[in-house]
């Protein structure tokens, strides 16, 4: 019912910044929240940021203080601004649309933090 497309990933040096975008579309009846998750090689997927339908944001300890999740409702876009990037931030980043009926996932965008 919901499609999501992530973009904005790429190669960035440690300490640099990147803004990820998630465009969502489709038949949307109820959205609880949109999350950003990431999955690094050999690791489990982890939630890094969440914004609820009410605008409440939450961050994982790994990115807290360095990242900001925001949304543009008019454009059906959710963003993740990441600053002070570290090599351990290297992962595929996914947006997750949490609806009342279940979760919808995008295909991900690769973020590589390396000098």
Q: Where are the alpha helices (DSSP H) in the chain?
A: none
At 49 the pLDDT is 98
Q: In the predicted model, is pLDDT for residue 100 greater than 90?
A: no
Question: If you average pLDDT over residues 63-79, what whole number do you get?
Answer: 95
Over range 53-72, report the average pLDDT. 96
| C-beta atoms surrounding 114 within 10 Å | 10
pLDDT band at 114 (very low <50, low <70, confident <90, very high): very high
pLDDT at 69 over 90: yes
Of 59, 41, 37, 43, which is closest to residue 103 (Cα–Cα)? Answer: 37
- Which phi and psi (to 5°) does residue 45 adopt? -70, 135
Burial of 41 (0-12, 13-18, 19+ CB in 10 A): exposed
pLDDT, residue 28, reads: 72
The rounded distance, in Å, linking the Cα atoms of 96 and 107 is 10
- Which H or E run contains 46? strand 46-52
| Residue-wise pLDDT tens digits, 23-48 | 999 877 688 999 999 999 999 999 99
pLDDT, residue 81, reads 98
């Amino acid at each position: 019912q919901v499609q999501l497309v992530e973009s904005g990933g790429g190669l960035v040096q440690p300490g640099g910044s990147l803004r990820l975008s998630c465009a969502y579309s489709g038949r949307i009846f109820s959205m609880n929240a949109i999350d950003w998750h990431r999955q690094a090689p050999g690791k489990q997927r982890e939630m890094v940021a969440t914004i609820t339908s009410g605008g409440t944001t939450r961050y994982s300890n790994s990115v807290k203080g360095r990242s900001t999740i925001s949304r543009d409702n008019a454009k059906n876009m959710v963003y993740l601004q990441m600053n002070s990037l570290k090599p351990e931030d290297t992962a595929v980043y996914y947006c997750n649309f949490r609806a009342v009926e279940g979760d919808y996932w995008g295909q991900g965008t690769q973020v590589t933090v390396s000098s």
